[in-house]
């Protein structure tokens, strides 16, 4: 029985990870496959693969609310974040932190 529960937990965890990776595909165009590129138009000096999970979620919420503009290119992110649910943001953040070098 214990084994079965473990398999379920791992199965779920890998499903969630796959979700974040799938969602990240459209982000990679601007942020790079490894989150190591500064997007075009942004004056940022850091890349998203150095951010904490909390910061990524907070940022995505700010862009979805259209209130965040950190590097003079916020509106480019408003469209990206518009369709994201809170679960999507958490899955993305969980995935992006794994890109950290």
73 makes contact with ligand HEC (CB under 6 A): yes
99 makes contact with ligand HEC (CB under 6 A): no
Tokens of 75: 């509106």
Whether the Cβ atoms of residue 24 and residue 92 lie closer than 8 Å to each other: yes
Between CA 55 and CA 40 the distance in angstroms is 21
Q: Provide the mask over 12-51, with x wherever binding to ligand HEC is found by CB under 6 A and - wherever it is not.
A: --------------xx-xxx-------x-xx-x-x-x--x
> Pick from 6, 54, 72, 86: which binds ligand HEC (CB under 6 A)?
72
């Amino acid at each position: 029985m214990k084994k079965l529960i473990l398999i379920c937990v791992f199965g779920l965890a890998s499903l969630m990870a796959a979700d974040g990776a799938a969602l990240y595909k459209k982000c990679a165009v601007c942020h790079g496959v490894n989150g190591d590129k500064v997007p075009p138009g942004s004056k940022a000096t850091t890349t998203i693969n150095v951010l904490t999970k909390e910061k990524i979620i907070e940022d995505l919420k700010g862009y979805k609310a259209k209130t965040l503009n950190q590097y003079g290119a916020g509106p480019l992110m408003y469209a990206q974040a518009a369709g994201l649910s809170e679960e999507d943001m958490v899955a993305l953040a969980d995935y992006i932190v794994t890109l950290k070098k």
